[in-house]
Structure 1
Amino acid sequence: MSRPRIVIVGAGFAGYEAARSLSRTVRDTADIVLISPNDYFLYVPLLPEVATGILEPRRVSVSLTGTLPHVRLVLGTADHVDLDGRRVEVTDPEGRTREVAYDRLILAVGSVNKLLPVPGVTRHAHGFRGMPEALYLRDHITRQIELAGASDDPGEREARCTFVVVGAGYTGTEVAAHGKLFTDKLAAQNAALRHAPRPRWLLLDVAPRVLPELAEHMSRTADRVLTGRGVEVATGTSVDEATEDGVRLTDGRFVPTHSLIWCVGVRPDPLVGDLGLRTEKGRLVVDEYLAVPGHPEVLACGDAAAVPDLTRPGEITPMTAQHASRQGRTAARNVAASFGRGERRPYVHHDLGFVVDLGGLQAAADPLGAPLSGPVAKAVTRGYHLLAMPGNRVRVGADWLLDAVLPRQAVQLGLVRSDAVPLENAAPETPVLR
């Protein structure tokens, strides 16, 4: 008799943890298949350090086959789920399509860039959700500083040394904080820019403060560090139009720049909307056991799922890595229970706090509600990341040590083409925004 098959779609925080948990509990009774467009789990919180040359890209990329030896990897993108036929249609990296049948399905497809109907943004802005964007941004920043140093036109030099980040949430704040330090070092190494004004960074958000989703003390710490470093924080402000020469802000100002970095937020993967099932805020509705109503063989978790927050009745859990990881493990436990291994449990989790790395010796953190800032918060932040990473801890620690004692290497690698990362290519399902 053939063994039952568990298919997991997505290898982000939720999908990876689900696969790892199932490989420990049901590998002898069921086949476990993981569908992912990449052969690695990406530790997204450290991408800003990849983009600014602190970490090498492989440090935050954990091999799926190397760390999940009892899980079969199917490289490809899930295009469609036939709920009645219990099949997932997959397109592999070479454009071939196939169907993968399942007995149990865990949907952990994650999220994509959130777009706003702003003229020119999808063409001129670059997102920051994956490794290609981080690698491109590192090359792009380095190239802009080098071109500025080679230019005799003061206007061009100013535009190339100006970087605009839209979205002062977790990602945007870290990108601006690390980016300012990075460009200051690049400019100091460039003979033509050594005595020129320091590169300009603007951080924009329509919210009244940076890190609006986190505690106020973390917001105050981040704002103090950013402004002290020279980052222009403009709250209540966003981009009204993006052009090839710069951006027009909602307050009427025009900022000449060649660097518009889009960190506005995320929305569930479009696959969720194609299922034809009930959603809440674009996320797939599930019960407290992460099961999809009417389809007990299907579970969903992470950013793609509207999981009831039992610690805050009437609300759903926020889209964070902390919740996604734990939901992945809960989904695995409940799938295993359906095969007679243990008992299923509802998802209940209280936030343990957040950490925000602000570059240098600065960070903001609130572990278990304790407000921290400065070097102590930095130590907590790095310790948390090392504990949360499923691999490469020694290599990450080694890169941090080398960055502390050696000058950062700033060269262009040319690994990612410029036409591979604009938002218009990252979001083909939203033609209205083009």
Structure 2
Amino acid sequence: MPRRIVIAGGGYVGLYTALRLQKRLARGEAEVVVVNPENFMVYRPLLPEVASGTLEPRHAVVPLRAVLRRTRFVAGSLTSVDTERKVVSVEPTAGPPIDLEYDELVLGMGAMAKLAPVEGLAESGIGFNSLAEAAHLRDHVLRQLEIASATNDPELRRCALTFVFVGGGYTGVEAIAELQDMAHDVLAGYPRLEASEMRWVLVEALDRILTTVSEDLAERAATELTARGIDLRLGTQLESAEGGLLKLSDGSKFRASTLVWVAGTRPQTVVGKLGLATDERGRLVVDETLRLEGQDHIWAAGDCAAVPDLESGGVCPPTAQHAVRQATQLGDNLVATLRGERPQPFRYRSRGEFVTLGKNKAVGEAFGRKFDGVLAWTARRAYYASQIPTINRKIRVLGDWLVGMPFGHDVVDFGSREEPRGAFEEAAGKRGP
């Protein structure tokens, strides 16, 4: 009977580890099982463009069943690990729990939003870590424009046109830049609104944005954002969001209908409940070969693991570049282990960074050179087009980009899809119009 490799998580680590195993394992050498709640992997660098409507949401994901032809897929969530029996428990989408025996176990369950104890945040805010959140934000911003355009109440209008993002890392900067760019682009369709009425605020607790890139590159991005009217509140924290009234540590208070929380992430809650070694930030502790501390048959990588950075020291940053390379090395190490060979340490030095700031706008650094504007925007798209798995997805994404270049953003708000039974319930007399 072939040995079994169970991979928990269908993100970068899960997908690319499984792809590597498909490529390197001989048929029948081992069974690979991927466990994930959703049957797709989200290509996270494209989420800001999903939020701005530049990309169709389905084109920013990779269907796991379609690309992992030689892998068994289980739709569910890992809930516990018995290291003595080498068994994991999985809660499937429906039905009773499933027990899966494993010879080697990979934990790549990614991260979730890290919420601060801010009063009202859970009720008023939304994250930006999933496809659903990105698609929702696009509809939400367009809905606020509709509300502001229709109302004669100045306070409601001001509240609807105030958009606040907390967190000045990659996600926060790209999200606010793309959505502000979209909102300004569609404003011609709202003759009752003026661009000057919109208020976009980026709140960052540190004294600069984009702390994981060079200071010069971060300054270029900050200059671009402020030139477009985005209010950067550096060295500032959100203290309260109760009832939609935002209070900042700099003393300012104002109401906003949009509060996006992008101030850091943490490993999924289940990671801390598995009884495995974690660091002070809740990440699984692994050695340089990506094997879990004290466990010969458990491996981890990506955002849920503290992977040693042998090139720069410390721990590898939680970027897509590193996660993909970790997964490839992990796949090689699993093959080596199955064949009685020595696993190799993970080493990787970043090739560059790109930060999208809207249509034809970006900053970038690659091979020691820094650039911005259209050149950086084009280089970023070329890079991600080359990295997206499968020809199918590459063509779909490129098609969206090419079709969208000569045209503006669409103003259609599909917010009603969040209540798909609304019309049916109204027809049945279960709810009002």
Partner residue, 1:385: 384
User: Residue type matched to 1:326 in 2?
Assistant: R
1:179 deviates by 1.1
Tell me the secondary structure at the aligned position of residue 330 of structure 2.
Answer: helix
Q: Is the 8 A contact 2:311 2:349 kept in 1?
A: yes
1:129 aligned residue:
129
Structure 2 CA distance for aligned equivalents of residues 84 and 170 of structure 1? 40
**Aligned residue identity for 2:397:** V
The 3-state SS of whatever aligns with 1:41 is strand
1:184–1:198 Cα contact (<8 Å) kept: no
Amino acid in the other structure paired with 2:104: R
What secondary structure is seen at the aligned counterpart in 2 of 1:292?
coil
Residues 1:415 and 2:398 are matched in the alignment:
no
Alignment-mate amino acid for residue 367 of structure 2: L
Could you say which residue in structure 2 is the equivalent of 1:422? none
Structure 1 partner of 2:80 = 80
Letter in 2 for 1:219: A
Residue 42 of structure 2 corresponds to 42
For residue 337 of structure 1, what is the aligned residue in structure 2?
336
Residues of 2 paired with 1:292 and 1:343: CA distance? 15
Is 224-233 or 266-275 further displaced after alignment? 266-275
CA contact (8 A) 2:266 2:282 kept: yes
For 1:132 and 1:416, the matched residues in 2 are separated by 10
Give the letter for the 1:205 counterpart: E
Code of the residue aligned with 2:50 in structure 1: it is V
Structure 2 residue matching 1:224: 3-state secondary structure: helix
Partner of 2:258: 259
State whether structure 2 residue 363 is matched by structure 1 residue 361. no
SS in structure 2 opposite 1:354? strand
Q: Mean Cα displacement is larger for which, 275-284 or 146-155? A: 275-284
Pair 1:143–1:330, CA change in 2 (3 A): same
Shift in CA distance, 88/57, structure 1 to aligned 2, threshold 3 Å? same
Please say if residues 244 and 258 of structure 1, whose CA atoms lie closer than 8 Å, have aligned partners that are also in contact. Answer: no
The one-letter code matched in structure 2 to 1:269 is: Q
* Aligned partner letter, 2:147: L
Residue 71 of structure 2 corresponds to 71
TM-score (norm 2): 0.93
Amino acid at match of 2:400: D
Distance across 1 between alignment mates of 2:94 and 2:269: 21
Shift of 1:320: 1.2
Kept in 2: contact 1:167–1:262 (CA 8 A): yes
The offset of 1:341, in angstroms, is 7.6
Is 1:395–2:396 an aligned residue pair? yes
Give the 3-state SS of the residue equivalent to 1:234 in structure 2.
strand
Q: What's the counterpart of residue 405 of structure 2? A: 404
5 Å-filtered alignment, 1:294-309, equals: 294-309=294-309
Q: Name the SS of the counterpart of 1:411 in structure 2.
A: coil
Query: Does residue 244 of structure 1 match 2:246?
Result: no
Matches within 5 A, 1:18-417: 18-28=17-27, 29-94=29-94, 96-193=96-193, 195=194, 197-280=196-279, 281-313=281-313, 315-340=314-339, 343-391=342-390, 392-413=393-414, 414-416=416-418
SS, match of residue 180 in structure 1: helix
> 1:343: how far off?
4.8
Deviation at 1:97, TM superposition (A): 1.8
Aligned letter for 1:122? Answer: A
Kindly provide the amino acid, as one letter, of the partner of residue 246 in structure 1. Answer: L
1:382 partner letter: R
Give the conservation status (yes or no) of the 8 Å contact 1:187–1:199: no
Identity %: 36
Contact 2:286 2:306 survives alignment (8 Å): yes
Write the distance in 2 (CA, Å) between the matches of 1:137 and 1:85.
Answer: 44
C-alpha contact 1:87 1:99 (8 A) present in aligned 2: yes
Residues 122-167 of structure 1: per-residue CA shift (max 9 Å, x gap):
1110011101111111111111110111100111111101100000
- Asked if structure 2 preserves the Cα contact closer than 8 Å seen for 1:170 and 1:356, the reply is yes
User: How far apart, CA to CA, are the structure 2 residues paired with 1:254 and 1:96?
Assistant: 49
**Alignment partners' CA distance in 2, 1:159 and 1:132:** 24
Cα distance in 2 between the residues matched to 1:386 and 1:202: 31
State the Cα RMSD in Å: 1.6
Contact 1:176-1:203 within 8 A present in 2 as well: yes
Separation in 1, partners of 2:104, 2:418: 37
Q: Alpha-carbon deviation of 1:198? A: 4.0
Q: Aligned with 1:143: secondary structure?
A: helix
CA contact (8 A) 2:285 2:307 kept: yes
2:431 corresponding residue in structure 1: none
Comparing 232-241 with 94-103, which one deviates more in the overlay? 94-103
Residue in 1 aligned with 2:425? none
What SS does structure 2 have at the residue aligned with 1:291?
coil
| TM, length-normalised to structure 1 | 0.92
Shift of 1:196: 6.3
- The one-letter code sitting in structure 2 at the alignment partner of 1:230 is G
For 1:304 and 1:196, how far apart are their aligned partners in 2?
41
Q: CA deviation at 1:27?
A: 4.9
